[in-house]
Amino acid sequence: MRYVLVLGRKPGEYVVIDDNIVVKVVKSEDGHLRLAIDAPRDVSIVRGELYEEKNNKK
């Protein structure tokens, strides 16, 4: 079973995933967010629309 965590963050705030991935809000205005993701090089990070496009082709 999977769980979804929904939370609010302000610019400068961040979340830590598994002690080695940091997702930080660097800008927020007019409903748009800019995120900075700090993760090990072996972790794949893909934008959602590209992930869906790749998986819908199968």
Q: Is residue 51 a part of any domain in this protein?
A: yes
Q: Is residue 4 a part of any domain in this protein?
A: no
Positive or negative torsion for Cα 23, 34, 5, 54:
negative
Q: Is residue 8 a part of any domain in this protein?
A: no
Q: Band of the pLDDT at 7, cuts 50, 70, 90?
A: very high
Q: What is the pTM of this model?
A: 0.81
Q: d(Cα 12, Cα 26) in Å, to the nearest integer?
A: 6
Q: What share of the chain is helix, strand, coil (3-state, %, to 5)?
A: 15, 35, 50
Q: Is residue 6 a part of any domain in this protein?
A: no
Structure confidence by residue, pLDDT tens digits, 11-58: 999 999 999 999 999 999 998 999 999 999 999 999 999 999 999 876
Q: Is residue 5 a part of any domain in this protein?
A: no
**Into how many domains does the chain fold?**
1
Q: Is residue 19 a part of any domain in this protein?
A: yes
Q: d(Cα 4, Cα 55) in Å, to the nearest integer?
A: 21
Task: Name the residue range of residue 37's domain.
Answer: 14-56
Residues forming a β-bridge with 19: none
